[in-house]
A and B are shown apart, each in its own frame.
Chain A
Amino acid sequence: MNKVKVNIKINQEYISKAVDANILLSDFLRYNLKLTGTHIGCDTSQCGSCIIMLDDKCVKSCSVLLAQCNNKNVVTVEGLGKIDKLHKVQEAFKNNHGLQCGFCTPGILFSALELSMRKNQRSEYQIRKFLDGNFCRCTGYHNIVKSIKSFLKEKDLVNEKV
């Protein structure tokens, strides 16, 4: 198996490394970097708990090779906010009881963030449709949708001010 040279930015840190061709991005994050906020919930690329941002787009890190990420920018949940200074989207989930066990939450936060970058996607129906591919086994989704609505509203207000 050949080694592949990758230059990658993860949560603002540059990493330059020759890696095995068969390493999944999710495994690299979890086992090599100990960034265990990215979860693995399935073997079938369906659950969405491993979703991270790759160049500002949500991808399932369990289904991307690290080798495919050369010259790309990765953000994981560890790069969003800190315990004493949460990201707005995290705050919205905290305030609206948008999580119970929290297993699905990192993936859902990134879906919420990508949704917030889209124009004209604000209705409850559109939010629920956008969450196809993010499985939550606890909340029944109701408070997740509520959290995302509140985040989008706040974001619109901030945008209006700018």
Chain B
Amino acid sequence: MKKFNYHTPKNLNEGYELFKSCDFPQYLAGGMTILPSIKQGLASPSDLIDLSYINEMHGITEHTNSITLGGLTTHNEVAQSNIIINKVPGLASLASEIADNAVRNKGTLGGSICNADPAADYPAALIALNAKLTTNLREIHVKDFFLDMFETSLYEGEILKNITLSKVDYSCYKKFSSQASKYAIVGVFTSVNKKKVKVSITGASNKVFLLDELDNLYLDKAKEFNLDKINFNKYDINNDINASADYRVSLIKSLIKNSLKNLTHE
């Protein structure tokens, strides 16, 4: 493998200062994206800055109306957390369907979000749960975070510290995944709060998007909504070896119907 230096900063500031002092540094969280990329020659950092010793990036905390998850929370920690299972079950089930068990033991929420793979699962949850992202420098609302495939609004060296999600009355994630990698061909996250619906979609386009047509509709109206009326052209649905754009649109519609079907009008 290519040569690089390895560092273990103990806090955010030390990590950030190290980053600024190196030639071509990259952060290392779970390593489930960056290490395979280095092995394949797709990335060649001069320095890997391992974030895992930064204590304030670990752990899950519940507040009155929200939940904060450290950037280093692993996929399996999200899937197995009682707070998440009870308060945002859609997120627990999403995390339990990422990749496979061994990847879920290492891969982190922060790493997945910062990597911004257009087929990653978490971005859909973040959008439908109104996430607020806290870095070492500022707070970013999720609607300003994902810019394009593998591109976020983070500055050079900025570290995602934690993610705060709104608690909702109902949440659910349904995905149709690639059998080899488990990445989403289409993933649909639905949240319902005070009877109002939010639906976001990942995997289908260059970046995750909120489905405007259903946004903030009352649940009964959303259920009656004729999805065939939506003009998906404006969402730039991908056409690739995994699925044609038409097939993806059809998946989106059926996954939304499935998600809304079991909800009562309560």
Taking the complex as formed, is A84 at the interface, i.e. its CB lies under 8 A from any CB of chain B?
A: no
B99-142 contacts to A, CB under 8 A, are 99-103, 105-106
Taking the complex as formed, is B225 at the interface, i.e. its CB lies under 8 A from any CB of chain A?
A: no
Whether B1 lies near A48 (C-beta < 8 A) is: no
A111–B106 Cα distance when bound, in Å, is 14
Whether A45 lies near B36 (C-beta < 8 A) is: yes
Q: Closest approach, in angstroms, between the C-beta of A78 and any C-beta of chain B?
A: 19
Query: What residues of A have a CB within 8 angstroms of the CB of B180 in the complex?
Result: 46
A68–B32 Cα distance when bound, in Å, is 13
Pick the interface stretch among B2-10, B13-21, B187-195: B2-10
Query: What residues of B have a CB within 8 angstroms of the CB of A22 in the complex?
Result: 1-4
Q: A22-B4, A59-B106, A68-B28 are in contact. List 19 more A-B contacts (CB 8 A).
A: A20-B3, A21-B4, A21-B5, A22-B2, A24-B39, A43-B40, A58-B102, A63-B31, A63-B32, A63-B106, A64-B31, A64-B35, A68-B31, A68-B52, A111-B101, A111-B102, A132-B100, A132-B182, A133-B103
Closest to B1 in A: A22
From B4, B5, B35, B101, A63 is in contact (CB under 8 Å) with B35
Closest to A61 in B: B102
A95–B17 Cα distance when bound, in Å, is 57
Closest to A24 in B: B1
A22–B1 Cα distance when bound, in Å, is 6
Q: Closest approach, in angstroms, between the C-beta of A136 and any C-beta of chain B?
A: 14
A43–B42 Cα distance when bound, in Å, is 12
List 26 contacting pairs A-B, 8 Å CB cutoff, sorted by A.
A1-B5, A2-B5, A2-B6, A21-B3, A21-B6, A22-B1, A23-B1, A24-B35, A43-B39, A45-B32, A46-B180, A46-B181, A57-B105, A58-B101, A59-B102, A60-B103, A63-B32, A63-B35, A63-B39, A63-B106, A65-B6, A67-B6, A68-B50, A132-B182, A133-B102, A134-B100
Query: What residues of B have a CB within 8 angstroms of the CB of A43 in the complex?
Result: 36, 39-40
Chain A interface residue count, Cβ-Cβ cutoff 8 angstroms:
30
Taking the complex as formed, is A114 at the interface, i.e. its CB lies under 8 A from any CB of chain B?
A: yes
Closest to A110 in B: B102
Whether A4 lies near B6 (C-beta < 8 A) is: yes
A73–B105 Cα distance when bound, in Å, is 15
Determine which residue in B1, B6, B28, B106 has the highest number of CB atoms from chain A within 10 A of its CB, and name it.
B6
Q: Kindly list the 4 A-B residue pairs having the minimum CB-CB distance in the complex, ordered from nearest.
A: A133-B100, A21-B6, A1-B3, A132-B100
Query: What residues of A have a CB within 8 angstroms of the CB of B76 in the complex?
Result: 57
